């Protein structure tokens, strides 16, 4: 299971890097400094601190308390990924704010014990703070959701996207409005529409006046399909060029190693690892 996750992560990262940055960065599995720093940081955090993180509690509950230690300590690995490069600002969604607070706490604890070393990274919240599940608008959209209709993937076919939005949960009122507290499902459609179209929520609602929610869901699906089309096309093209993807990983790994290695060497000296 873990190896499968690593493989998928490598595939996703290689596509993303090739699409946006070329051979300029790499996923964590190729840079050992991430996991080594993660172990040191794990020794500085108490168990209850991790158990109180809302994502751990939610996932552990869904897994009927069979959550693994890896799942519990994953936020510490995230912290290592950030601190290994002495990052100062990190773009995150609203659901990751609590994890960023952990990053700041770990940096602060390390600095108090070993002297000022890590900056305290700040969160940069994205304009759309959280995408909600299509099947349960009270929860965030998650790729690990067992309900395959709940999450839209960039590589989903147009037919799959239409099916998912057609079955998206709304309510019995046909009017399109944005009222997150009382109409979470329809409001989620509006938020997604605004995000992919570049319009404001107010503009989306005005442009949808007189439209019922059944028709509106298909309109949102079309907007998502249009937004994803060039990305899906580029991904398919990249999948045919394995050599390029390997180069992205290889060159990016070397670049990331070059940045992370001196930071972790300093960490080792500070904590007394020879």
Provide the annotated active-site residues: 59, 140, 143
Q: Other C-beta atoms within 10 Å of 1: how many?
A: 7
Task: Output the six-digit token pair for 94.
Answer: 């609203």
Give the sign of the dihedral formed by CA 258, CA 262, CA 263, CA 264: positive
- Cα 82 to the center of its chain, rounded Å: 14
Task: Output the six-digit token pair for 223.
Answer: 């907007």
Report how far apart, in Å, the C-alpha atoms of 11 and of each of 6, 15, 26, 81, 248 are: 9, 6, 11, 18, 11
Q: Do residues 50 and 75 lie in contact, with contact meaning Cβ atoms separated by under 8 Å? A: yes
Whole-angstrom distance, CA of residue 131 vs CA of residue 112: 37
């Amino acid at each position: 299971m873990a190896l499968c996750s690593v493989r998928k992560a490598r595939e996703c990262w290689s596509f993303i890097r090739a699409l946006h940055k070329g051979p300029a960065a790499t996923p964590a599995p190729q840079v050992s400094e991430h996991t080594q720093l993660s172990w040191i940081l794990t020794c500085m955090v108490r168990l209850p601190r991790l158990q109180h993180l809302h994502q751990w509690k939610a996932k552990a509950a869904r897994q009927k308390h069979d959550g693994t230690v890896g799942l519990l300590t994953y936020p510490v690995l995230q912290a290592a990924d950030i601190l290994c490069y002495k990052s100062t600002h990190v773009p995150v969604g609203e659901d990751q704010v609590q994890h960023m607070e952990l990053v700041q706490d770990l940096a602060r604890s390390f600095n108090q014990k070993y002297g000022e070393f890590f900056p305290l990274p700040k969160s940069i919240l994205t304009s759309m703070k959280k995408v909600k599940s299509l099947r349960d608008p009270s929860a965030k959209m998650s790729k690990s959701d067992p309900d395959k209709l709940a999450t839209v993937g960039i590589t989903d076919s147009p037919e799959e996207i239409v099916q998912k939005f057609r079955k998206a949960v709304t309510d019995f009122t046909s009017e399109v409005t944005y009222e997150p507290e009382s109409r979470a499902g329809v409001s989620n459609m509006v938020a997604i529409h605004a995000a992919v179209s570049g319009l404001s929520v107010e503009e989306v609602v005005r442009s949808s006046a007189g439209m019922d929610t059944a028709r509106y869901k298909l309109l949102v699906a079309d907007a998502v399909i249009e937004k994803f089309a060039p990305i899906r096309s580029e991904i398919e093209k990249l999948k045919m060029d394995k050599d390029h993807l390997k180069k992205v990983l290889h060159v990016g790994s070397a670049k990331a190693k070059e940045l992370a290695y001196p930071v972790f060497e300093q960490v080792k000296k500070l904590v007394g690892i020879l």
